[in-house]
Amino acid sequence: MNFKTEFDTVGYVIVDDAIDPAMAQQLLTAARRVRAKFEADPERYSECVTLDEQGEFACLSALLSPNLNEPIFADYLISAPVLKYARAYLGDEVRLGSVSIFTHKRSGYHVKWHRDIGNNNRRGTPEEEFKIFNVPTTHLSWHTALVDNDSLHLVPRSHSRLRTDIESRALIDDEDIDLPGETAITLRAGQTVYWNGFLIHRGIQAADKERCTLVGTLCLYDPEEPQVPTHVLEEWMLAPEVRAYLPEPMKELYDRWLDTQIPGTFYETPR
C-alpha cells in the first residue's frame, strides 16, 4: 500500500524518513533548550504550556514564536521530508498547522482511552462518532520521536467504525482496561508516526523516562475555507512580529492560516 492508502485504511503509518537526519540532533538539543527556558522563566514563556496532573511540563507550544528564538522548528516544519508526506496526503496546496513538544522527565502519565472528537471526547454518542467517519480529512498530524518512545497506544482501524461493547466500556464508562488489538506505537529516535486522531487511543508514559516528541500538523489549504475564531493557545500567532520572524518559504503558509481566522475572536477547546 502507498502512504495515503495505508493511512486511510489502518489509521496510522510509521516511517523512517520524515526527518532530515542532519536536523534530528539539532532538534533534540533545541527541544531540551526550550524546556530549560520554560523551567527557568515560566512567566516569560507562558504563551502555550500544558501541565500534567503532577504540575510538570507536558506540552510546550509556540515553538515558532520569536519570543523563543528557536528557528530550527520552523525549518523543520517546512523541510523537504515533512512537506513530502503532507503533500502526498493532502495535495500540493497546504497551509500552516502547528508544531509542539510532548515532554516528560520525571513524572509518568496515563491518559485514558478517547478519540479526538472534541467536547467530552471519551463519551461521544454513536451518532457523534458516526458523523466523523464521513468527514474528509483536511489535516495531517504526526509524532516524531527525538528520543525512543512507546507512549502512544491505539487500536488500528478503529478510526472508521463504531466502537465495540468493550471499547464502549473504556470510552463511556472510563474503564482503564486493555483493548483487543491494542498496539503500542514503538518509535526509535528519528522515526515518525502519522496517525488519525479518530483512532481509539491512550497515552502511557513510565516515570523517570524522558519523553521528547515533536508533534506536527499541516493542513489542506482551501481558499473557500470558512473563517473561524482563533484558538486561545494560538493567539500569539497574530502578533505582527511573528510573520517577519518566519523564514520566507513559510510566510505563504502562515498567510493562508491567517486567512482562516476571524480577527479578534477566540475560543478554547471544550473539556
Res. 120 pLDDT band, cuts 50 70 90: low
Instruction: Give me the pLDDT at residue 228, please.
Output: 93
The two beta strands, 109-114 and 201-205, are antiparallel
Phi-psi region at 4: left, alpha or beta (left = phi > 0; alpha = psi -120 to 50): alpha
CA 188 from centre of chain: 18
Sequence length of the chain is: 271
Res. 167 pLDDT band, cuts 50 70 90: very high
How many C-beta atoms lie closer than 10 Å to residue 114's C-beta?
Answer: 20
Res. 55 pLDDT band, cuts 50 70 90: low
Out of 4-8, 15-19, 37-41, which region has the weakest mean confidence (pLDDT)? 37-41
The dotted CATH code for 3-267 is 2.60.120.620
What is the pLDDT averaged over residues 120-140?
78
By percentage, how much of the chain surpasses pLDDT 90? 69
Instruction: Give me the pLDDT at residue 110, please.
Output: 85
Q: Residue ranges of the domains in the chain?
A: 3-267
Compute the distance between CA of residue 167 and CA of residue 175 in angstroms, rounded to an integer.
Answer: 9
Q: Which three cell numbers stand for residue 10?
A: 489502518
By percentage, how much of the chain surpasses pLDDT 70? 93
Torsion sign over Cα 262, 130, 196, 136? negative
Compute the distance between CA of residue 212 and CA of residue 239 in angstroms, rounded to an integer.
Answer: 28
Query: Tens digits of per-residue pLDDT, 225-254?
Result: 999 999 988 999 999 999 999 999 999 999
34 close to 70: Cβ distance less than 8 angstroms: yes
Query: Tens digits of per-residue pLDDT, 180-214?
Result: 999 999 999 999 999 999 999 999 988 888 999 99
What DSSP string runs through 147-174?
S-B--EEE-TTGGGS---HHHHHHHTS-
96 CB-contact burial (10 Å; exposed 0-12 / middle 13-18 / buried 19+): buried
Model pTM?
0.93
225 CB-contact burial (10 Å; exposed 0-12 / middle 13-18 / buried 19+): middle
Q: Where are the alpha helices (DSSP H) in 11-71?
A: 21-40
